[in-house]
Amino acid sequence: MKTPWDHALESVRSRHPTVLALVVGHQGSVPGTTGAAMVVSSLGCVGTVGGGTAEHAMIERARGFDSAPELVDIEHTPEAHGTLCSGRQTIALVALAGGDEPTVAAICDALQAGRVGTLHLSRTGISFEAGAAAPQPLVTEAAGFRFATVLGRRDTLTIVGGGHCALALSRVIATLPFRIVVLDDRPDLPTLAANRFADEIRTVNYPDLAAHVPDGDRSWVVVMTFGHAHDETALRALAGHRVRYLGLLGSAAKVAALFAAMRADGVPAEFLSSVRAPVGLPIGSHSPEEIAISIAAEIVRERNA
């Protein structure tokens, strides 16, 4: 998908007037939270700062904007924008020109490579630190303002098993800010070859799984191998491996039987109770696509909690 930064680079390179609208602060219930971005140029508009009449007003304001970066406060009330939202956004408008092309290109390169970086914004314009990840809340002062936000996908979803459900889940998660890694012990699986949504596909041995799964609060894992024996091997390999989220695909009956056998074999009950199983929100899903939506929804709910 074309990102606002891709659009910005195309517009700046072709010397079209280009304006970045970036949400640098928000309070209350608003449609676009801090970090949401939109780029407006004579080639079109890509991205969003929340939609609705407020965004339409911001697009109109961005057209023709060519001054130093400035902050715009938007009150979301029925009187102001005909919305039932109740909150406030602060949006920075930044005119981008030829001198910003190297910075915008560096951002695009980092995002396309799956790396992260920090976008800095002030009255003097934008700058970018590739590899850094240090957000800074909006600071206003007599000389202007300062703000920094992290760009890129800091979270990794590891899908253990590369079958049809993994392909469907990869397709859905690719629309969200996650790096996607698919692991399977079958190198010639057709659904692996068809998976153009994953950032990385690896052939691994499930007993060695922990060495291939990042640990920490930005690591998300869903186990969906082709059999309960492989599921058990994968879970055993990840016992004691700290991740933000660990889910297991399967029916309630399968999960109950598998966990009972694992508890009887000495796998800590505390670990098993931390596994989301059956994984996904209970929406009555059956097809791989429905299962993928239910899992993605549960992950988003957990990530935004």
User: According to the 3-state scheme, what is the secondary structure of 60-71?
Assistant: HHHCCCCCCCEE
Do 27 and 88 contact (CB within 8 A), yes or no?
Answer: yes
The average confidence (pLDDT) of the chain is 93
Share of the chain above pLDDT 90, in %: 84
Q: Is the pLDDT of residue 268 over 70?
A: yes
Alpha helices in 141-251 (DSSP H): 164-173, 190-193, 228-238
The label of the residue with tokens 């191998």 reads 225
pLDDT score of 30? 81
The label of the residue with tokens 């080639």 reads 43
Cα–Cα dist 260/2, whole Å: 47
Domains along the sequence of the chain with CATH: 4-151 (no CATH), 155-304 (3.40.50.720)
Do 276 and 134 contact (CB within 8 A), yes or no?
Answer: no
Give residue 2's pLDDT band: very low, low, confident or very high (50, 70, 90).
Answer: confident
Q: Which tokens go with 258?
A: 């598998």
Residue 187: CA atoms inside 13 Å, Cβ hemisphere, count? 3
Q: Is the pLDDT of residue 79 over 90?
A: no
Do 243 and 215 contact (CB within 8 A), yes or no?
Answer: yes
pLDDT score of 143? 84
Q: Is the pLDDT of residue 120 over 80?
A: yes
Cα–Cα dist 155/37, whole Å: 19
Residue at 292: amino acid letter:
A
More confident residue, 294 or 131: 294
pLDDT score of 193? 95
Share of the chain above pLDDT 70, in %: 97
Q: Which tokens go with 267?
A: 């796998």
Q: Is the pLDDT of residue 134 over 80?
A: yes
Q: Which tokens go with 116?
A: 């992260």
Residues near 1 by Cβ (< 8 Å), separated by ≥ 6? 175
Chain centre to alpha carbon of residue 280: 18
Q: Which tokens go with 250?
A: 């399967």
pLDDT tens for residues 18-63? Answer: 999 999 999 988 878 899 999 999 999 999 998 888 899 899 999 9
